[in-house]
């Protein structure tokens, strides 16, 4: 495997399977070292620029804590803190920041814009660019997801029965990037992935094709159902999470129409909630996961999310730190 220092981390699809496995092994090692209280100055005096166009809890703090624990520092930026709010281009931002610091990390989930913006940063940056989520991908989240799955089910995840299900929520228009990258990533590990969603909230055809190819190569499978109960039956892991439908609309510029159509479609599926009845449709030792924040009482009931037998959300969230550190250690430190 070649040295990964300087490699961009915008989607797991850009990384070979042995490179991903290296990151996961590194994540486990770093987690154990933190548990033992071992300290590292791998990234001493290095600066990570974190640019957030949206809110963040786990991503912001896992990255900030991670580089601090390596002896480096982070700058927490938003468009109003820099000249992006005045129209500065991705090119100019990338060139300037990469001449000053050692990595650029960005969250930009605007539909049909976010991934393009990150790739433009990467085009002009001389240091690694890391995705903190865009409109199509969320690689940091998926790394933590697979890490917690390997902790609970062993390193070999081939044949694991995984269900990614749409669920009702109304707090905000949740990006489609989490289920998209999960679908792509999980199929690379040979899992048997089921996607359950109402017909009005499909995933992108091009990515479905890619995920089918991933499944074929790994020996896994991918299927789709439009019934939440059917999706839960026999599952070993369930990830019920809302995603919006904007990514499937034809007229990106017509935001008012998009909002109206999405709200109308949402109202049809308030029954799509992860509750005890549905959990019992799954396997006897089923695990519940969620990227958080979860809409309690809408996406999931308290009886499920707070059930210590079912819910592994806090292990999943903690692993955001260890996998973020692994990505930085590899791309910034050449580890």
Q: Is the pLDDT of residue 258 over 70?
A: no
Per-residue pLDDT of 19-61, as tens digits, reads 999 999 999 999 999 999 999 999 999 999 999 999 899 999 9
Domain count, the chain: 2
The model's confidence at residue 250, banded by pLDDT at 50, 70 and 90, is: very low
Assess if residue 3 is contained within a domain. no
Given this model, what pLDDT does residue 249 score? 43
Residue 236, classed as helix, strand or coil, is coil
Buried b (16+ CB within 10 A) or exposed e, 150-178: bebbeeebeebbbbbbbbbbeeebbbbbb
Three-state SS at 106 = strand
The verdict on residue 6 lying in a domain is: no
Percent of the chain with pLDDT over 90: 85
Distance CA 48, CA 76 (A): 9
Residues 147 and 290 in one domain: yes
- Report the CATH number at residue 107: 3.40.50.1370
pLDDT 10s digits, 152-195: 999 999 999 999 999 999 876 688 999 999 999 999 999 999 99
Q: Are 229 and 80 contained in the same domain?
A: no
| Same domain, residue pair 37 and 165 | no
> Mean pLDDT over residues 267-291, rounded?
95
Residues 34 and 176 grouped into a single domain: no
Asked whether residue 131 falls in the same domain as residue 165, the answer is no
Q: Is the domain of 178 the same as that of 209? A: yes
Residues of the domain holding 224: 141-316
Q: Are residues 155 and 242 in the same domain?
A: yes
Using one digit for the tens of pLDDT, what is the confidence trace for 93-104?
Answer: 999 999 999 999
My answer on whether 41 and 73 are in the same domain is yes
């Amino acid at each position: 495997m070649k040295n990964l220092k300087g490699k961009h981390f915008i989607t797991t699809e850009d990384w070979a399977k042995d490179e991903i496995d290296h990151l996961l092994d590194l994540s486990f090692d770093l987690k154990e070292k933190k548990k033992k209280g071992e300290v590292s100055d791998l990234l001493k005096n290095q600066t990570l620029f974190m640019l957030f166009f949206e809110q963040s809890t786990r991503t912001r703090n896992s990255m900030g804590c991670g580089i601090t624990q390596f002896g480096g520092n982070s700058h927490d930026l938003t468009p109003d803190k820099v000249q992006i709010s005045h129209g500065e281009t991705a090119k100019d931002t990338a060139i300037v920041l990469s001449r000053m610091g050692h990595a650029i990390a960005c969250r930009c989930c605007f539909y049909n814009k976010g991934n393009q913006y990150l790739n433009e940063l990467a085009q002009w940056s001389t240091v690694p660019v890391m995705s903190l989520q865009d409109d199509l991908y969320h690689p940091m989240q998926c790394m933590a997801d697979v890490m917690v799955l390997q902790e609970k089910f062993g390193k070999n995840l081939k044949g694991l029965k995984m269900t990614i299900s749409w669920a009702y929520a109304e707090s905000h228009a949740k990006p489609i990037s989490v289920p998209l990258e999960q679908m792509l990533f999980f199929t690379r590990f040979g899992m048997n992935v089921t996607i359950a969603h109402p017909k009005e909230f499909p995933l992108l055809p091009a990515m479905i094709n890619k995920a089918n190819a991933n499944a074929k190569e790994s020996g896994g499978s991918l299927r789709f159902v439009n019934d939440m109960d059917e999706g839960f039956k026999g599952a070993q892991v369930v990830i019920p999470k809302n995603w919006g439908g904007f990514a499937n609309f034809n007229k990106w510029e017509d935001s008012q129409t998009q909002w109206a159509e999405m709200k109308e479609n949402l109202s049809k599926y308030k029954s799509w909630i992860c509750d005890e009845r549905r959990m019992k449709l799954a396997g006897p030792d089923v695990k519940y996961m969620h990227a958080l924040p979860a809409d309690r009482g809408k996406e999931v009931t308290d009886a499920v999310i707070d059930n210590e037998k079912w819910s592994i959300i806090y292990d999943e969230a903690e692993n955001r730190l260890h996998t973020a550190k692994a990505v930085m250690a590899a791309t910034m430190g050449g580890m």
